[in-house]
Every structure is written in C-alpha cells, then in structure tokens.
Structure 1
Amino acid sequence: MKLHLSDEVFFYPKMSKQAYIFFLFLFSLNLLQAQTKVGGVVNDDAGKTVPFANVVFASSSTGTTTNEDGEFYLQAEEDYDTLVVSFIGYETTRIPLKSSVNLNMEITLNQEASSLDEVVIYRGKTSKKNNPAIDILKKVWENRRKNGVRAFEQYSYKEYEKLEFDINTIDSSLIKNPLFNGMEFIFDYADTNAVTGKTYLPMFINESVYKVYGDNKLNEKKEVLLGNKNSGFNQNRNLIDFVKEVYDDYDIYKNYIKFFDKSFVSPVSTTGIDTYNYVLSDSAYIDNKWCYNIVYYPRRENELTFKGDFWVNDTTWAVKNINMETTKDVNINWIKQVYIEQDFKVLNDSVFLITRDFFMADFALNKKKKSKGIYAKRTLLYDEYEFNNERPTSFYKQPVYNPQAQAYDRSEEFWEENRMEKLNEDEQGIYVMLDSLTKTRAFNRLYDVATIIQSGYVDFEGWDYGPVYSTFGFNDVEGVRTRFGGRTYFGQSDPWRIEAYGAYGFKDNKFKYGISAKILLDQKSRLIVGGGNRRDVEQLGTSLTNSTDVLGRSLASSSLLNVGDTDKLSSINLSVFAIEMEPLKNFTVRLGANYRELKPASEGFSLDYYVDEDRTIIDSEINQTEISTIFTWTPGRKLSGYGVERNVVNEDEFPTLFLNYSLGVKDIFNSDFDYKKVQFFYNQPLLVGGLGRSNLSLEAGKTFGAVPLGLLSVVPGNQTYFALYNTFPTLDFYEFVTDSYTAVHLSHNFNGRFLSRIPLLRELNLRELIGFRAVWGDISEESKSIDASGLPLVAPDSDPFYEYSFGIGNILKVMRFDVHFRGNYFDNPDARSMAFTIDFGFHF
C-alpha cells in the first residue's frame, strides 16, 4: 500500500527564550507579509516568574511555554489579535494585542485560591504515585513498539532535508564591525528565529532529497540520494558533514537521545520517570483525535535532560507532537540551547508516522543571553510511505563507490517538485546573498583564516602549506627544530596527492625530509597505489601497533617538557610502497613493502646487536626489508568525498579492527633479519546510557624469530606531561621490551554525572574521568642472546603491568587533568609511582 500524507500536519511550536532587542529592525523587514510576534515575561501576583506557563494565540494551536525564567517568545505567519496565557492553579488571562509586534510584555497571572497546592507540586518535584501524567506515560511505554515504521516488516519513504547555518544576535555593534567592511549588504537578509526571537543572518543552506528503504527482519537500511543543492560553503563538504552528523538519528521512544557525543534521557522513555517531573496540563482534539498534553521538566540541575511538553493520543497512546529543549544549566560546552520538535501523523488507529523533525543548536562561547553565536538547524520532512514491499538482501548491499554525481546537478523543476516544504522568501534570498558574498574579497579573507584554523593548512591554489602547528619543535638531539611542508590540494575529491616536508635541527645542524605520493587508480574498488621516503629523528617505541604512515609525526619533535631524560632517540631512513583496495564497504586490504635503516641518534644510546653466533662481532645499524599484509575493518564508519583521501564524518563512533601479518626478509637490499610478526588491534567506543562514554582497546602481537632491540615491540611509555593515546604514563621509554604482548586500555568519562550534584562544583560543569591500563609481555631467549645494546631487556612476564588513573575534565571547557598510579613493578630502576598528564581540546 502507498500513503501520501496531507499537508495539514498539526504544528505546535514551543519557543522558550526571550529576546528584547532588534525587533524594530525586524518589523521594518517584514512589513510586506502578515505576521504576529509577541514576547515578554509571565509573573504571578506576588511578582515571581511563572515557568512552564502555556502561551497561545487565541483560536489557534500555535503556542509555546515560558522557560524557567518565565520568559517567552512566539511568532506566527497569520494575524492574531489576542494572546491567551494559562497555568495550572492560575486564572486564565486573555491579552488583546495592539499591533502585530508586541514585545517586552509583562503579564501577571492571578492564583486561584483552591489550587494553591497544585501550584506548589507543579513548581517542585511531582509525585510518581497517583499522577495522571505518569499513568498516561505508562500507556505510551506499553504501546511504543506499535508506532512508526517498526510496525512493518519492510518500509520505504521519501525524505527531504534542509540544513542551515546562521549568525545570530545581529545588532548594530555587529553591523558596524570592521570585520564586515565590504559585506554590509548581507544584513539586508537578516531574519528572526521563530524559537528564540533572536535576529539572525543565514550563512549556509543545503537541501537534499533521499529515498529511504528498510527491512526490519534483515535489520537493513539503505539511503539513495536523489538530489543535493547548497550555497555558501559549497566546496566544504566537511562543514556539511559536520552539520549532518551532529544531528544523528534519534528515537524518542528509546531511553537515550544521542547528539554532540552525549546521551540525553528521553522524556518519553522508561528511565524518564526518575529524571523528570511530569504534569498533565491540557487536553484537546488534534486531527480529530483526542489528545492529552503533558509538560515535563528536570528533577535535578546540570544533567543531560530536556524540558518541554508532548501530546499523546488517548486510544493509541502514541506521541502526536513533542518539543524538547535543553535547560540553560545543562552540562554541555559551546551550546546555549538545543531545541527539538517532532510531529507525527495517524496512519490508522494503531500506527503513527513521523512527518516532521526539526533540530536546532545555538552555538556560542558562553551561555549569556546576549552572547553572539551560530545557529545550526536541520529540518526533515517525510512522505510517500510504502510498506511490506520485500526486496532481496543484495538490494541493501552498500557500494564502496557511490558519488551520485547527477544528484548534485538537478534542475529547478526537480526542486519545485520534490521540496515537501517551500522555501520562504528569506530562504530563497539565501542563495542570492551567498552567491554574491562568496565573490567579495573581504569574505574570502575571513574564510581563508577560518580554513587555516580548522585544517592547519594555508591554501595557495593547488598547494597547501602546513601543518602550521608543526613549524617549530624541540628535542634533545636537534635542539630547536623548524619544519616546512605542504601538500597538493585542488579539492576534497582529488584523485592524487603529494605531501612533502623539510626540517632542520639547530643543534645537530642536519637537514631532514619526508615525501609521499598516492594515486587513486579505480574508484569502484578504491585501488590506491602510494609510496614515499622519510629521513628524520624519531622516538621509537611510542606505539605497540605499527604505523604505516611514511610521514607520521615524530614524538621527538614535540618533547619540550619531559619527565626524566629523553636520551633514546633514533635516526630512521624509511622507504614505503603500498597497494590498497576496499573490496567491501569499510573493509580495506593493504599490501605493502618497506625498507628501514635504523641507528642511534642520541649520544650514549645503542641499538647494537651481535652478528655472529660467537657474539664477537657487533653491528650498530639495522637494515631491514619487510613485507606486510594489513586488513582493516571499520563497520559503521561514515566518510565524505570519493577521492584518494576521504574525511571521516563520525569520528570515535565506530569500532576498528586491525590485523597485520609482516614478513621480515633477509638479504634483500642488505636486509639483516628473517622473522614473522602478527599484530591485532581492536578499538571500541561505547556509550553507556546516562553513565557517560567509555573507550576500550585491545592490542596483541607476536614476533617469530630473533630480532634486535630496534625491531622488538617496546611497551609505549610516556615521558611527557601530555596525554598520548594508548601509552603508559608511569613508564619510561624502553622500560619494558617484548616480542610477545597483550595490552588493554579502558577509559570512561562520566560527563559530570556525580559532580553535577555537588553544590558549588555544579556550576563549573566538570567531568569525572577514570582509566585502567594493563600489559603482559615476554621476550624470547633468542632475541636476548643477540642484544648488545647494554639496556636491560625486561618484559612484564611474571605479572601483567597495570596502571589506573583518575581525572577531571572540562576545566575551563578545554583542559583535562589526570593523575596516573603505577600498580606494580616498583623495583624497576627509577620506577615512577605516579604521573600527571594534561590534554587540551574542544569537546561538547
């Protein structure tokens, strides 16, 4: 069967913030169209603000509720002459509207004497017993599996998506800012946000149309892009993919709603009863169905929760409409507000289908009311549902290469036919404004600066200089080190790329360099051929799992602050050639060959080994040829672009499995050793509901055959004060050396779940961190027998070495501080029982 949903979908917007400025300017922009705008604050007769009061236009379903400060903003495209304000325990008040724009309103509600107790209950914690709202919520839980596309074995529908970035809080100081010299015309396109009441300026818009197919029996889903159109930063797919990935798919019936790498408790879930207060607020007919309105708000501050309301049908117990807004004290960085609105349509008496999904985030440096920032908005519309049309399993197979180039060149007739919601005049003007803006010199200067900050590269039309952050470094061998490099870059889907750098140490007075190149030969199989050469100074033993990146950044160049002596650096001459392909989506096979020349770079450090069985002849350099076969599987990984390099969209959201089989071959290019090596790596990020986020990684490996120190697997220590991935902060470099090893790393971020409940600390939005690391390893007698380095070759073979750590994150929103404790092996020379690390980064 096939269903076309009508356009008469119930729309009940909930606007929860107040803005008191910019509206005279706004009014002048909107004289040509009918529109009603109201805003202000609601107080009781004692002068206290009334949170969560209902504010609606008379004889309409267009309304909102006041926020926790009693403030509201509401607008509609139609003309209205009366505003109705109501709240449980108060007399309903009707306010005549003198004009189409009424702002800074101060509305007073008078209490009903007979309902004072209800008001107290409503404002504080509501009861979990004898609460009609919770009784209705339990009905929703009992019937939730019958709602939506999950009720059918197969489904398909058409989806229209609109993404938009806007600069918000446009005022005279911003308009007159010298930053916008030469771009003043853009402010003619400013508009008012229907949720917050702020004046904003659109800067980017992207439209997409998809056909979506799914099979609940096979647990498969497939999206086919029919059309894509954007303006603004139309060459920056990273920006588009960031916006899309921020708004991951979420289901209000599940216990947690995930976005910005956080898990928010859903107000409709079974866990919501311990997290939210619920109040039965109203009842009314919606689309000829009797529905109940339930208002909800958090029981505690600073948790990952929402406030808002939802409508529930009285027979199917399905949610008809829901509004979710983060509270102002929610523990999330760089976000002032997140607003979600979903509308559902009745298919029959037992099934409701989503028809509209709106998501908006207000990005800002702080949460002050007048702070300027960026709106990121996504609107999804759904139609043309079809059900129980079975397709073979092969239909859902995801192609490795699928650029769908024709989808990016659709005619205007296509968009007129496939848009489920027409662009308003302001949105239509975005295309005109942004096309003009990208031609101005002033804008391109700003865009270039932003690109440098984001990518670390300076664009010179086909050649990028960078990374700029690696220009200077320091280590014991080179002293002050300067590095200059770059890459070819014509676009995000370049079929080939060359990278190169040169570096110079002012202490050793030596020049170093690296160069690599790779080319995409076949897009369908992603057949890539690449190679390169690097001669540099490096700290070996900083990772158990081998890196195959010929230009991998050396830890030696960033060791300005260290714990103890960093006197075990090596000189490396590495040449690599590799062939790579992707036979299945997110499954990569890489065949490679490399040749290494290793020798000590630090004075007093040795990689010596015995050449003969009698242990009389010593060599201090290692020449080694190695052939490797690497398999990498990253299920669930999302990528952008289809060139030789692609951007990972959903970083840290998918597992990684890595298997490497390496063969050391003697006598080829004067290679010194025969050996075999197997390495396995597994990394799994985990969202643990309301308890935060974990990350688990496992590493294991074994070398078959006798090899010297330079080819052994060194347990990675960390002698810096900075956090380094999968290292052991209380270990020194070369403290443990193995040829067989198994390691585990487990970390967990509670996202402030406990600190948010402590007075005084609550306002700092700190986050609790814990970690555990352990490694077991062994070293063969054959490898020990050829070692002549003079270093004690010790492996954690009697008991696994382990560490544990405690930390505080989100310090000043950008810093993390951890204290690490050694668990055993205190008798090792110069063993450190404790270590401190810091880390910097921008995290939500």
Structure 2
Amino acid sequence: MRFIMRRQLKTSICMLTLFLTLAFTAVAQAQQTTVSGTVTDASTKETLPYVSYLITGTTLGGRTDADGKFSISINGNYTALKFSYVGYKPLTKVIKIGTAQVVNVQLQPEAMLMNEVVITAGKKPRYRNKENPAVELIRKVIANKTKNRMEHYDFVEYQKYERMMFSLSNLSDKFRNKRMFRNYQFLFQEQDSTKIGGKNVLPVFQQEKLSNNYFKKSPEKTKTVVIADKRVNFDERFIDNQGLSTYFDRMYQDIDIYDNNISVVSNQLLSPIADGAPGFYKFFITDTIKNHNPQLVELAFTPRNNTDLLFEGKLYVTLDGNYAIQNAYLTVNKNINLNFVRALEAKLDFEKNPDERYHLSKSNLIVDFGLSKKSGSGFTGERTVTFKDFKVNNPLPDTTYRGAGQLVVVPDADKRSEQFWANNRPEPLSAGNMKVYGNLDTLQSIPSFKRTMDVVTLFFAGYKDFGPFEMGPVNTFYSFNGVEGFRLRLGGRTTPSLSKRYYFETYAAYGFKDDKWKYFLSGTYSLNNKSIYAFPQNYLRASFQRDTKIPGQELQFVQEDNFLLSFKRGENNMMLYNDFYRLDYVHEFENHFSYTLGLRKWQQTPAGSLYFSNYPDNGILGRIQQISTSEISLGLRYAPHEKFYQGKIYRTPIVDRFPVFNLRYTAGIKGVLGGEYNYHNFMGSVDKRFYLSQLGYADVTVEGAYIVGKVPFPLLAIHRANQTYAYQLNSYNLMNFMEFVSDHYASVNIDQNFNGFFFNKIPLLKKLKLREVASFKVLFGGLRDENNPALNPGSMQFVRNENGLTVTNSLNRDPYMEGSVGVGNIFKVLRVDAVKRFSYLNNPEVSSWGIRARVKFDF
C-alpha cells in the first residue's frame, strides 16, 4: 500500500512538473516588458504623487507612489501607457516591447490651455494647514468620526470571514530549481507580477475563519462565535499551530480607519483621520468623483516626515453630510522606520447602511518582508476580511451576549466540509490557494522535510526529538560559574507521543570544581487530557531538584545554566545548594484567569564565598550549615485578552495593551516537614504596555511585597540583580547579587521605546533607522527592626566580603534608582544601553555606570 501511494505521489509530481514546464514555456514565449520612471509637472519639475496610468487596450495599470515613481511588468504585445491626473492633460507614452526601459513622464497642467498663463518664479510654496481646503475637509471627517463608527449604534451583528495567507516570496527561478527543492516543486505558485510579493511564491501557511459577531452598546458587550476554522496544521513536535495563528493575528489585526492608531505588524501607525492627523500628515485634494452617489472627494495624504510610523495613500470621502470614508488605500513610504517591511498595502471598502451611514465591508492587507528593501527573497503575508449580513439596531436576547468578551468556538468548527466552505466563502479561492492545504499536508510526509524541521527545531528550541522522548535543551549542556567551575548537563523529557496524560522530565549535571552531582526529576499528570504546555493548563506535578542557584537572580525565558549567562561581571562565587521537594497544581481558565497551589520543602546550603552565620549567646561568631523551610502557596494571575506563542520550554507572551495582574501568597510553617520558620509573604504586581502614538510605547511594571514574621535574610525579598552584560528588563542591571534585601518594598519600572521619533528628524541619522530607548527603575524598601541583623545579634547576619565590608544591605529611606538611555534597532536586532546608577554608590564593589546589550527582534 505504501509503495502504491508513493508511486501515485511520484506520478502526480511528475505530471505536475510537466504541467509547470509547459506553463513556463508559454510564459517564456510571451514578450515581457518592464517599464519604470518618474512623473513630474512639466512646468515646475516637481514630482506628482498617485498619478494613474493604464496599459492601453486593457484595464490594467496602477498609480505612482508618493515620490511620483512607478514600475510595471507587462506580459503581451502592448505598446503604450496612458497617464492621467486631475488638473493635467492626459499623456500617452510609447514603449518598446520585450525590454526593460525607463520612461520619464512630464504632464502639462490644464492651465496651459488658457489664453493667458501667469508663471510665478521662486521656491515651491510652503505647505500650510491654514486655508487649505484639503485640511478643512479632513477636519470635517474627524468631527464626524463618532457617528460613522459601529459604536454609534445600540446593537450590531454581522458575519465575518477571514483568510490569512503567508508565503515565501520573490523567489527566482534559480532558487526554485535548486537541488534541495526538486521534491517540492508542487508547492510553488505563480501570481500576477504587479502584486506585492513578486512572481514566484511558496505558500507556507493558510487559515480561513468564519464567525458571527455581536455588539451591544449599553452596557457595552461584544461576543465572537467562531463557527468554522480551517488552517494548515503542522506537526506539533515542531510548531505550535495555535500560537502561530495567534502571532499572525497579532501582526495582522483588523484595521479600523476611525481609530486614532492602527496596529500593523506589531506597531501602531497614526491613522490619517486621527484627531491630531493634520499635525503629522499633508493632505491634497486630487479628484472629485461626480458620477458616484453620493459624490466623492479623492483625498491624497503623505507624512510630513517620511521615516515616521505613518501611512500614505488616498481616502475617498462622501459629500452627503456624513463625511464618511467610502474607500481607503493605505501604504507606507519606502523610508519608513519599519524593520524588514519592503512593501505594505491596505485597501478598505465600505457599504452604505439603510440609515445612509457606512460600514466596513471588506479589507485587504498585504505586507512583504525581506532583509533587503531592494531585492532578494522574502516573506509575504496577506489577510482578507469580508463582512456580510450587517444588521444594526436589531435587539437580541441577553442570552446572546452570555460569555461576552470571550472567544467562543463551536464544537467541530475545525471539521467543516469542503461543501460548507464552498457555500460560505464570499469569494471562491483560486485554484492555487485551494491546493495549499493538501500541498502542505503532503510536504510534511516527505522524509527530507521532516529531517529539515528536526534540525530547525534543535537550533531554535534546543531539543532533539526521538519520538516519545526529546533531549535538551542544548544551550545548557555546557556552562561555567565560580562555584562549580566547568559544568556539564544532560537531560530531556517525554513527549505527547508517549502519553498526553503523563509527562516526565529529568536532567543530571556535574560540576568539576565542586565535584558534586546535581539532578532534577519531575512527573506531571494532565487533568484535561491536553499537553501540559497547551492552553488552558490543568495539571498536577511532583518534582525534586538538587542544584545551585544565585540568590535573587530570576530569569525569564532562559535557564540559569544557559551557556551565554556564564559570562558575568564582578565576583560571582556566592551561590546556594538547594534541595526542592515540590507538589504543584496549576489550573487555567479560558478567560485567562489562573491559580496555582503549591507545597514546597526547601533546604538551602551556602556555597562558594556565601555563608550563614550568627552571634549566639556567647558572642562568638558561629556558622549555620543550612536552613530548612516548609511552605504552602497560592498564586493568582489574570491576563485578560492575553495572547502568546507556546514554545518547547517557555510560553512567550505577545505583549499588547492589556494589563497582567499577579498576586501570590506564601506561608512558611514551622514544625511541618522540618520547617524552621513561620512567616507570611504577600506579593503583587501589575504589568501594562501604554501606547503613546507617535512617541512609541512604554512598558510599565508596578510591584510590591510585604513579609510578616521574623526570618533570616535568605528568606527575605532578595532584590533581582544582574551581573551579566545583557540588559535585563525586569532586573536592576547595576545592582550586585544579594546586595539588597527587604521585608517590605514597592517598585516601579518604566521602559520607554520611542520608535525613532527623534532620530527620524535628524537627516543623516534617520537613514540608519535607529530607535531611541530609555528606562527608569526605582525601588523603595526596608527592614523592620525584628529582621535587621544589626539589631539582633542572634539572628543570621548579613554577608561580608574578605575585607569585612557588608555585601548584603537593607534599603534605608533613600530608594535605589537606576536609569538608562540607549539605541535600539542596531542591525535591526540589537539594543545597547548606557546604564547609570543614582544611589547607594558607596556600597562595596559598585559600578556607577555600565554598557549593556540586548538582542531584541522588532518590526
């Protein structure tokens, strides 16, 4: 059977290859003409934006960009292009068939036909908002935004169809015919050469979604019910399908022209009809369309600074008193400070409601990415959204809005038949797009593709899959530190191939300097028959770990023995040997509220130059070998509308404007399982991103804690320090490990990204597309008398260095403060900060400033 299937597949590929060869031959026989150039005003020599041009004898053509430039590839024996622009005489230019050529066009103003022509010498008149009819019109559009939005109605319901497509694009024939792709020729597609992305594309992802949507104004409620969902599904061993879909949704959000800011590829661009748009855009009336009911005004707009995060394009505004947008064409300047974006194009169409207002009926967004703006292969994403059955002010029962604010997916939404999709798609898919689902399923069955994905997964996720077991992560196999010296580690975990209910994870490590073994073992039982890494989580886990740890170091998305974190500044030989016995229960809900219950027995033994000591009754300094605690804990987390990508190890949040709340309570119990202390630890935090339009965005974290009870300093809040050369967002980058402890504290961290707002105004600097960053961190805290070792000789004393100076301190009335200014987007991936410490500069071995770097991938 396998032989027959393989033979059928091979026969199909051969037939398909033959078909493609014939198609290429037909295309090669046709004459292809490439024409590019610039359109200018014949009298002033200034470039003309958005001039229309057509291939004579056809309806095909395009428009010049904001700089008056155009480029088109023509298949066929066409010999002329016709250019037209309101206020100018049309002009037809002859072109040569079958060659690449530059045709510059000069259009004569209509005024040249008058008997008397007045020519005014001098500089180009300065653009002004005052007494500018285009600006007056856009102000009327802004003034009428409220009544033209969906929120104007008491009730709205509609059906929404979404299609998302991602492809490798601009692929040359040489690339396509490489030996490595000889088994994958059936994947390639051809598209219209005038479309963004180029001629040859290789689809890698496609998703269609159909949903019913409901809106109620008072009290405001929204609800989305997904009734059908069809997408390419990759092997879960390699790719998180849900996370991939979520990530693409974040990059390609719905475009609401009436919002002040529009989210595109993880950035916010100021809408051309934002309240403050006339201060950032230039507007021009370029045409009046009288044969449309109502009449429309074509309004072109360009950014005042072509590197700012702004659109350019055209709006079509109704002259019926509503001043609504009837159509919109949005693109971006080629010099915009958006990483990897080579081209962007959005088209919005609106339809009239019975009350003479308009609603969005269709939107299409295409973005082409690439390492180079000019040429080379890239990555193109396209999202088309269509709205139908739009009904307004039709009251529905309250039960309709039950579960409002949540995404509801009907059972078997992903199992709809082909006939269902054929009946419910607003427009049929092209033949090539219909094949994408089957082609990618076939691709995943090819052994060479599986081997390639295995290597890619090992490189990016750090795990090597062996079916029921995977080994990794590879970046922890080797590391070093001041206590263990060279450290070797080997570990792995089971996969869903073994069981979806039971998971086991383990590793063993050995330090050649301390001559000690470290190890970890855990067993997890999934209570909802899902992977323990899939949302929503619901599992019970028991684990034991014996390993080293730097007190106060808390890392996100990496392990402490990651090789790259072995490189640190200053002394790094104060560590702990920890024995953790843990039992944890984690339960997440669909609304992104979760709670965690934990039971932990923890034994801490000092290592390296760290020691535990006190002054007993005889007044002689004594050493304490270890401390033991038994704890119960409750953690609460609420992250409304959170989206994330689930990797092999970590769940990586896709940061948005919604806050994340955390609350944790931990109680130490003396006399249970060897616990030596009674205490209560309350901790809470809020994280939120604030979008500031053209000033970028600010990530803000507010955190606080209070510990009730008398405890030794290792059980206090040891504030997060960083002695690596990497800039860490949630740590104090010039604080030393164990430098400060508190039993109560409050902190505020602000990380501001200006997205190039200032650098874009500097002529030479703006070409580098650098982005300004700044941060400020302030920490207030202290110790009550009962936890201050200086007032309690019998208590565990703070650590001192070899010179007798105190290494560990408490915060007094002055806060700890540090700030930084830096440059981001260096080579599009690197951020470098100059960090300055403002307080407690007299502490031993303190650096008052430093340079830190962080790899940060942004669009």
TM-score, normalised via structure 1 length: 0.87
Picking from 520, 523, 538, the partner of 2:549 is: 538
Equivalent AA in structure 2 for residue 727 of structure 1: S
1:434 aligns with 2:440: yes
Aligned to 1:342, the other structure's residue is in SS state strand
Picking from 636, 639, 652, the partner of 1:634 is: 639
- Once structures 1 and 2 are overlaid, which stretch shifts more, 102-111 or 334-343? 102-111
Task: Give the Cα–Cα distance (whole angstroms) in 2 for the partners of residues 118 and 128 of structure 1.
Answer: 24
Task: Give the Cα–Cα distance (whole angstroms) in 2 for the partners of residues 148 and 722 of structure 1.
Answer: 46
Aligned to 1:106: 103
Q: Deviations over 1:112-150 (max 9, x none)?
A: 384799999999863312322222212211221222422
Aligned to 1:711: 715
Q: 1:645 Cα shift?
A: 9.7
Task: Give the Cα–Cα distance (whole angstroms) in 2 for the partners of residues 825 and 839 of structure 1.
Answer: 25
Considering only aligned residues, what root-mean-square deviation do their CA atoms show, in Å?
Answer: 3.8
Counterparts of residues 388-787 of structure 1 (less than 5 Å): 388=393, 389-392=395-398, 395-397=401-403, 404-490=410-496, 494=500, 496-522=502-528, 527-543=538-554, 553-554=559-560, 558-582=564-588, 585-602=591-608, 604-609=609-614, 618-638=623-643, 650-783=654-787, 784=789, 785=792, 786-787=795-796
Q: 1:106 Cα shift?
A: 2.6
Aligned to 1:373: 378
- Once structures 1 and 2 are overlaid, which stretch shifts more, 187-196 or 514-523? 187-196
Task: Give the Cα–Cα distance (whole angstroms) in 2 for the partners of residues 673 and 345 of structure 1.
Answer: 69
Equivalent AA in structure 1 for residue 664 of structure 2: N
- CA gap of 1:398–1:193, structure 2 versus 1, over 3 A, is farther
Aligned to 2:15: none
- Once structures 1 and 2 are overlaid, which stretch shifts more, 383-392 or 89-98? 89-98
- CA gap of 1:592–1:273, structure 2 versus 1, over 3 A, is same
Q: 1:612 Cα shift?
A: 7.7
Aligned to 2:13: none
Task: Give the Cα–Cα distance (whole angstroms) in 1 for the partners of residues 837 and 848 of structure 2.
Answer: 5
Is contact 1:607-1:708 (8 Å) kept?
no
- CA gap of 1:372–1:748, structure 2 versus 1, over 3 A, is same
Is contact 1:42-1:106 (8 Å) kept?
yes
1:55 aligns with 2:64: no
Aligned to 2:200: 199
Aligned to 1:601, the other structure's residue is in SS state strand
Q: 1:239 Cα shift?
A: 2.4
Is contact 1:189-1:429 (8 Å) kept?
no
Q: 1:637 Cα shift?
A: 1.0
Q: 1:528 Cα shift?
A: 2.4
- Once structures 1 and 2 are overlaid, which stretch shifts more, 330-339 or 353-362? 330-339
- CA gap of 1:400–1:281, structure 2 versus 1, over 3 A, is closer
Q: 1:616 Cα shift?
A: 7.8
Aligned to 1:212: 213
- CA gap of 1:427–1:261, structure 2 versus 1, over 3 A, is closer
Is contact 1:611-1:618 (8 Å) kept?
no
Q: 1:82 Cα shift?
A: 7.6
Q: Deviations over 1:166-190 (max 9, x none)?
A: 1111212212333323223433656
1:805 aligns with 2:832: no
Aligned to 1:65: 63
Q: 1:204 Cα shift?
A: 2.2
Equivalent AA in structure 2 for residue 179 of structure 1: M
- Once structures 1 and 2 are overlaid, which stretch shifts more, 468-477 or 667-676? 468-477
Task: Give the Cα–Cα distance (whole angstroms) in 1 for the partners of residues 186 and 344 of structure 2.
Answer: 30
Q: 1:295 Cα shift?
A: 1.3
- Once structures 1 and 2 are overlaid, which stretch shifts more, 436-445 or 311-320? 436-445
1:822 aligns with 2:837: yes
Is contact 1:221-1:396 (8 Å) kept?
no
- Once structures 1 and 2 are overlaid, which stretch shifts more, 39-48 or 780-789? 39-48
Aligned to 1:201, the other structure's residue is in SS state strand
Is contact 2:161-2:386 (8 Å) kept?
yes
- CA gap of 1:196–1:731, structure 2 versus 1, over 3 A, is closer
Q: 1:826 Cα shift?
A: 2.2
- Once structures 1 and 2 are overlaid, which stretch shifts more, 76-85 or 199-208? 76-85
Aligned to 2:574, the other structure's residue is in SS state coil
Aligned to 1:387: 392
Counterparts of residues 193-342 of structure 1 (less than 5 Å): 194-195=195-196, 197-231=198-232, 233=234, 236=239, 237=241, 238-285=243-290, 288-315=293-320, 316-342=322-348
Task: Give the Cα–Cα distance (whole angstroms) in 2 for the partners of residues 527 and 479 of structure 1.
Answer: 39
Equivalent AA in structure 1 for residue 392 of structure 2: F
- CA gap of 1:275–1:314, structure 2 versus 1, over 3 A, is same
Aligned to 1:177: 178
Is contact 2:34-2:74 (8 Å) kept?
no
Equivalent AA in structure 1 for residue 36 of structure 2: G
Q: Deviations over 1:455-481 (max 9, x none)?
A: 333332233332223332221112222
Aligned to 1:835: 850
Which structure ranks higher in relative contact order (CA pairs < 8 Å, sequence separation ≥ 6)?
1
Q: Deviations over 1:743-772 (max 9, x none)?
A: 111110111100111121111111111111
Q: Deviations over 1:334-390 (max 9, x none)?
A: 22122211111111353111111111111111212x221010111111101122323
Is contact 1:496-1:644 (8 Å) kept?
no
Aligned to 2:145, the other structure's residue is in SS state helix
Q: Deviations over 1:203-228 (max 9, x none)?
A: 32211111111222233221111111
Task: Give the Cα–Cα distance (whole angstroms) in 2 for the partners of residues 478 and 556 of structure 1.
Answer: 14
- Once structures 1 and 2 are overlaid, which stretch shifts more, 388-397 or 166-175? 388-397
- CA gap of 1:613–1:723, structure 2 versus 1, over 3 A, is farther
Q: 1:659 Cα shift?
A: 1.0
What percent of counterpart residues are identical?
26
Is contact 2:49-2:67 (8 Å) kept?
yes
Q: 1:542 Cα shift?
A: 2.1
Task: Give the Cα–Cα distance (whole angstroms) in 2 for the partners of residues 42 and 686 of structure 1.
Answer: 41
Aligned to 2:342, the other structure's residue is in SS state strand
Equivalent AA in structure 1 for residue 849 of structure 2: M
- CA gap of 1:176–1:413, structure 2 versus 1, over 3 A, is closer
- CA gap of 1:567–1:435, structure 2 versus 1, over 3 A, is closer
Is contact 2:196-2:368 (8 Å) kept?
no
- Once structures 1 and 2 are overlaid, which stretch shifts more, 694-703 or 114-123? 114-123
Equivalent AA in structure 1 for residue 706 of structure 2: K
Is contact 1:475-1:558 (8 Å) kept?
no
Q: Deviations over 1:638-662 (max 9, x none)?
A: 3679x99995663354311111111
Is contact 2:822-2:832 (8 Å) kept?
yes
Task: Give the Cα–Cα distance (whole angstroms) in 2 for the partners of residues 529 and 57 of structure 1.
Answer: 67
Equivalent AA in structure 1 for residue 131 of structure 2: N
Is contact 2:206-2:232 (8 Å) kept?
yes
Task: Give the Cα–Cα distance (whole angstroms) in 2 for the partners of residues 774 and 756 of structure 1.
Answer: 30
1:128 aligns with 2:126: no
Task: Give the Cα–Cα distance (whole angstroms) in 2 for the partners of residues 492 and 304 of structure 1.
Answer: 49
- CA gap of 1:256–1:412, structure 2 versus 1, over 3 A, is same
Equivalent AA in structure 2 for residue 265 of structure 1: L
Q: 1:259 Cα shift?
A: 2.4
- Once structures 1 and 2 are overlaid, which stretch shifts more, 648-657 or 111-120? 111-120
- CA gap of 1:147–1:98, structure 2 versus 1, over 3 A, is farther
Q: Deviations over 1:501-536 (max 9, x none)?
A: 222223223222223333331489854212212111
Task: Give the Cα–Cα distance (whole angstroms) in 1 for the partners of residues 666 and 77 of structure 2.
Answer: 74
- Once structures 1 and 2 are overlaid, which stretch shifts more, 53-62 or 718-727? 53-62
Aligned to 2:9: none
Task: Give the Cα–Cα distance (whole angstroms) in 1 for the partners of residues 741 and 509 of structure 2.
Answer: 30
Is contact 1:301-1:757 (8 Å) kept?
no
* Gaps in structure 2 of 5+ consecutive residues: 1-19, 530-534, 801-805
